[in-house]
Structure 1
């Protein structure tokens, strides 16, 4: 049996994935968590073979959780092989795919993947193979790497949801003028007409 963990902050999604995978004779969902920072401990406790991780979760993103698993050498299955990870997300963006692969993720699929294909992805990843959504893999070939600096990405993340300049400056301990300069640079790099559009473009490309 392949022992599977599902990490997603939506109860309904976790339940649906568990039910779908539970119909497979060779797959067993042994753990479900709703936070990214619960993944490593759950993998340890339940001797997980393959962890299915959402990207956006409280505590830690799925990509950060995958990195944490990579860094914890003692996280192993009873057979002595490391737990492998698959990102299962609605955010099918090339930037996220690059980040995930850089974090050591073995698979990247979107949530509307047919159940049979998801189950097969788990099997292939468990065998040591890599599985990536083909449409996303093709798109990533034509999407440029992020042109944003680390500070610009930080400002953009803080600006999500229409947060004002003053609030962003207070949150990041920057002057309002510095925040405006960073946002102006992001607008130029994304070709957007305003900061709201610039943040949207950066987010949709998976740069944040």
Structure 2
């Protein structure tokens, strides 16, 4: 019998991690070799345990799952990433694939399907939630430039134009221009609405 697929689970919610571990350990060809609660702990844990597949949540302290997928892709390509998230947003899917993730599924995926997704990712295949893939194609690429997204991300925290400018080392005029462009591109009423819409689409 071949060696079981070695899995690393990364999720900041211990209950979710525990539930995923319990479900996946029922599969004879899968074994959990590490569980972490922070994105910045994934690379070291994957190296130490020689994990084959890392199951990553999107929103984690330390580093988000999309960033971690990119780090693993560059630093430890033999450990493939499978994003398992509550946040089934088309923009997240696109960013995950661009970062080098091998798969993207939502947390309410049935256990047998999740185990199958892990096996396929371990074989070097790509696995994407079909409903999300269709939605991602329909919603298209983010209309925001990298700088506009950055300005909106800081604006979402509620700072003034001056505070955003200081945070990003830009002039207030430049910040206003970026906010105005982002509001126009998202068809939003104001910058808070633009930030909310961009976040909902996974563009931030």
Q: What's the TM-score, normalizing by structure 1?
A: 0.91
Q: How does 1:159-178 map to 2 (within 5 A)?
A: 159-178=155-174
Residue 17 in structure 1 maps to residue 13 in structure 2? no
Which whole-Å CA distance do the structure 1 matches of 2:188 and 2:198 have between them?
A: 10
| Match 2:194 to one of 191, 195, 198 | 198
1:191 offset after TM fit, Å? 0.4
Count of aligned pairs: 201
Give the Cα–Cα distance (whole angstroms) in 2 for the partners of residues 89 and 160 of structure 1: 22
Structure 2 counterpart of 1:95, from 87, 91, 94: 91
Using the TM superposition, give the Cα deviation of residue 161 of structure 1 relative to its aligned residue in structure 2, in angstroms: 4.0
For the aligned residue pairs, the C-alpha RMSD in angstroms reads 1.5
Secondary structure of the corresponding residue to residue 162 of structure 1: coil
Deviation of 1:94 after TM superposition, in Å, equals 1.3
Aligned to 2:109: 113
1:103, distance to aligned residue in structure 2 (A): 1.6
Which residue pairs with 1:150 in the alignment? 146
In the alignment, the residues of structure 2 paired with residue 71 and residue 161 of structure 1 have an alpha-carbon distance, to the nearest angstrom, of 31
Give the TM-score normalised by structure 2.
0.92
Instruction: Measure, in 2, the Cα distance between the counterparts of 1:57 and 1:206.
Output: 15
In the alignment, the residues of structure 1 paired with residue 157 and residue 68 of structure 2 have an alpha-carbon distance, to the nearest angstrom, of: 25
1:33 maps to 2:42: no
Alignment of 1:132-143 (within 5 A): 132-143=128-139
Any gaps of 5 or more consecutive residues in structure 2? none
Match of 2:28, SS state, is coil
Pick aligned residue for 1:68 from 67, 71, 74: 71
